[in-house]
Structure 1
Amino acid sequence: MTSPSSSDREKVVSKLPAGLQQDLKIRTAQHGIDIQHAVEAGISAWRGLGANRSPIDTAGAKSFSTWLPPGQWDAFKGDCEARGVSLVQGLSQSVQVWLDKNPPPNVQRPTVVRRIIVCNQKGGVGKTAITSGAGQALAEGADLLHPVRISKHFAALLNADQPGSPLDYEDLPGPGLRVLLVDFDPQGHLTKQTGHAPLHLDGDSLTKHMAGEPKGDLRDLIVEVEDPRFGGRLHLLPACTDAFLLDVKLSGVRAREAALERALSPIEHHYDVILVDCPPSLGLSMDAAAFYGRRRPGEEPGNSGVLVVVQAEDSSADAYALLTSQIEDLRGDMGLELEYLGIVVNHYDARRGYIATSSLEAWMAIKDPRVVGVIGDLKEQKEAVRMKQPLLAYAPRCDQAVALRALAREIS
């Protein structure tokens, strides 16, 4: 909540039930307004009522303070006395009036399913962690507040002694989107890290659907990534080791660049966002993934595209050049409107010295595409992988979690 100067408003202190305080905090964040303005509006509305509302249980009310226009609090106290209700009861009813008049906003869903292709043919840069973490952040519930790093402070990391140095945070509601994670890597790291097993080699798989050899409905392969904070909105299409043969199979498929799109199109209407965790490859499978992320007719710019994951070290720069060259070839050869959603610098640790800090500076100097996330190299991610739990469920307030939420908002 903003604290204006006393010349503009006056500070008032009272009590409010803890549940109402939490509801007020969440609802104002959902609507993007200050708590003080919500309380001001609630008191004004309550004072205009023709009769008292039903009493609210104020047992256990806790201290609550805010800032109101001069004179409003004194007038409100007079109204409470005239109506025969306590100050805490009157304030509670006022807050409830505002909550009733301002219900939770509907989740903003894209008109065209968003397709985020997470890639880099260099292995070990953490594509899987970024795919999973961004997907988790997009699926978090809008009825709770989650700590988010304010993205404009990326540059502060350049001067931080360690990746956990204090930066500015704010609590924001989750996007509440329906998300599908697609494990497109035959190594199956995304599948295993979310606590699931890869698909059986002799059964159905995404590879078989792309090759025109399906054994069933693709929806039957999808599993839920379970945690209350995701509310049944986060799903996974597991990997299968037959994807090691995907490039060979695609070589004989008609319009092979569109194979991934043909496979996933029947299930797109179930989701708001589909994130594809690509293998470390520049082969035909990468062509199919890039084609899937192109801008479709009528789709808004920036809705879908390629998210490139790199590290703050020299070999990532070489790999980045190869990847962008392939993307440019696809753009030119096929006339694709294929957009970059940005660059994510992963596994960043300023304690590694000049190589790390100078590399981060070099990445941030690239303005097109720009850096949209800097994720620290901290223990929580490794622990979550070992525990086979989603990071945002295992350590929801860790530095990596709040940075991933910022990334999700940058690309959404």
Structure 2
Amino acid sequence: MSSPATSSDREKVVSKLPGWLRQNLKIRAAQHGVEIQAAVEQGIRDWCSLASTTSAIDTSGADSFSTFLPPGQWEEFRQVAADRGVSLIQGLAQSVQLWLDSNPAPDVARPEVTRRIIVCNQKGGVGKTAITAGLGEALAEDPNTLHAVRVAKALAKALRASESASEDATANDPLEVENLPGLGLRVLLVDFDPQCHLTNQLGAAPLPMHGDSLTNHMAGDPKGDLRDLIVSIDEDKFGGRLHLLPACNDAFLLDVRLSAVRAREAALERALAPLEADYDVIVVDCPPSLGLSMDAAAYYGRRRDGEKPGQSGALIVVQAEDSSADAYDLLTTQIDDLRSDLQVDIDYLGIVVNLYDSRRGFIATSSLQGWVDIKDPRVVGLIGDLKEQKEAVRMKQPLLSYAPRSQQAIGMRALAREIA
């Protein structure tokens, strides 16, 4: 059952494990950030030290499983299994289960202060809505399931590739993708755009005119509890952790209505504050506007007392073309003015270059390099212009449900971890 050692300090061991147990081991090891071989080694050591065998494990359907153990451990294990009258497969299964029982799944790390992420850019059409949805989905994925994530070096490679128009910066080597547990956070997506794109893309219905809406609550004219307007998104995929506050077309009138409200820059915060205890993260999809509504959104994302820098703030979505740069300058000027006028800290969480395709030539690659050169804020995400996002919108499904292993989904998970 063993083969020659592959290194000076370990030998390869081949046995069998039931598929369900192997999967549980893989997930739990990833949750604790340890290698599978280290987990198995510890499990065998603990099992051998027990006074007797533990409860029998159902090993029906067990298939090939290999790992690397310190020299001599497998032989010791074989002897203990023989002394106890159990098969090697049963002994190994008990060892793995013992390690799982001794290392339960860690609790989800929840922020002390509800994070507020404001997804924005004055320019329309850059894909703010897709980034809002994808980010929220990635934050809410099941922590007890593994999901494909692009590792940091893949983003760095893609950004370096922007220097060469001949290299496809949206391509990823399979070795640069790893399977990690979901983040498992409770997320509220807020559709703050009167065009209702986020609401429509996720398959929800826009709120009817003349009913209750976020606009009414911000204007001081609520018609009910804002919680009653919230809908859950894809319960099967996200386990009740992902919710949406739909938009209403009445948001076109928001700036006019806010002009008559006292302390109007705090209007969004007053409306959403009662909901914050229910969520770890609130992600706001902003309209392409520089008006009072954007002031309220930026103020909502300010750093609060006791909150660490970089937990909340503005996530700016751009494309690798010139008009995005003009819009970026307008937006950052507005945020900087708000910082100065109200004496608040509004952090930039980074820049996301969306809908990127290096095959578009010099304009795309040189523009991407321009974003990379800014450095502060830095580029935290690069999302390719691929078909899966468009298909998910057409199907009115979350991207990470429709195409969970697509390059765009992998990039969204990387973005979530970059700003986590």
Using the size of structure 2 for normalisation, the TM-score is: 0.96
Deviates further, 220-229 or 288-297: 220-229
* Structure 2 equivalent of residue 92 of structure 1: 93
Instruction: Please tell me whether residue 283 in structure 1 is matched to residue 291 in structure 2.
Output: yes
Question: Is 2:25 aligned against 1:43?
Answer: no
Match of 2:194 among 186, 195, 206: 186
**Residue in structure 2 matched with residue 140 of structure 1 by the alignment:** 141
Give the corresponding residue for 1:62: 63
Is 1:200 matched with 2:208? Answer: yes
Map of 2:18 onto structure 1: 17
1:246-303 alpha-carbon deviations (Å, 9 max, x no partner): 0000011000000000000011100000000000000000000000000001111111
SS of 1:357's partner is helix
Offset of 1:165 from its aligned partner? 4.0
Where structure 2 has 5 or more consecutive residues not aligned to the other structure, the ranges are none
Matched, 1:33 2:41: no
Which residue is equivalent to 1:71? 72
2:168 is matched with which residue? 161
- 2:272 alignment partner in structure 1: 264
The count of aligned residue pairs is 409
Contact 2:157 2:169 in 1 (8 A): no
Q: Partner of 1:136: helix, strand, or coil?
A: helix
- The 2-side partners of 1:81 and 1:93 are apart by 14
- The residue aligned with 2:311 is 303
Corresponding residue SS for 1:97: helix
1:70 CA drift (Å): 1.1
Is 2:410 the partner of 1:409? no
Is 1:366–2:367 an aligned residue pair?
no
Cα shift at 1:358: 1.2
| Separation (CA, whole Å) in 2 of partners of 1:86 and 1:165 | 43
8 A Cα contact 1:341 1:411, kept in partner: yes
1:340 aligns with 2:348: yes
| Contact 2:232-2:240 within 8 A present in 1 as well | yes
- Contact kept, 8 Å, 1:117 with 1:307, in 2: the verdict is yes
Aligned to 1:327: 335
Letter in 1 for 2:240: G
User: Which range moved further: 147-156 or 266-275?
Assistant: 147-156
1:12 alignment partner, SS class: strand
The percentage of aligned residue pairs carrying the same residue is: 70
Are the equivalent residues in 2 in contact too, given 1:117–1:276 (CA < 8 A)? yes
2:20 and 2:205 mapped to 1: Cα distance? 40
Could you tell me which residue of structure 1 aligns to residue 151 of structure 2? 150
The amino acid across from 1:382 in the alignment is: K
Compute the TM-score of the two structures, normalised by the length of structure 1: 0.98
Q: Give the whole-Å Cα distance in 1 for the aligned partners of 2:225 and 2:156.
A: 47
CA distance in 2, matches of 1:5, 1:245: 69
> Which position in structure 1 is the counterpart of 2:252?
244
**SS of 1:11 mapped into structure 2:** strand
Shift of 1:5: 5.2
Q: Which amino acid is 1:150 matched to?
A: V
Which one is further off, 297-306 or 127-136? 297-306
Which segment drifts farther, 48-57 or 278-287?
48-57
Deviation readout 1:337-375 (Å, 9 max, x if unpaired): 100000000000111111111111111111110000000
Tell whether the 8 Å contact from 1:151 to 1:373 is kept in structure 2 after alignment.
no
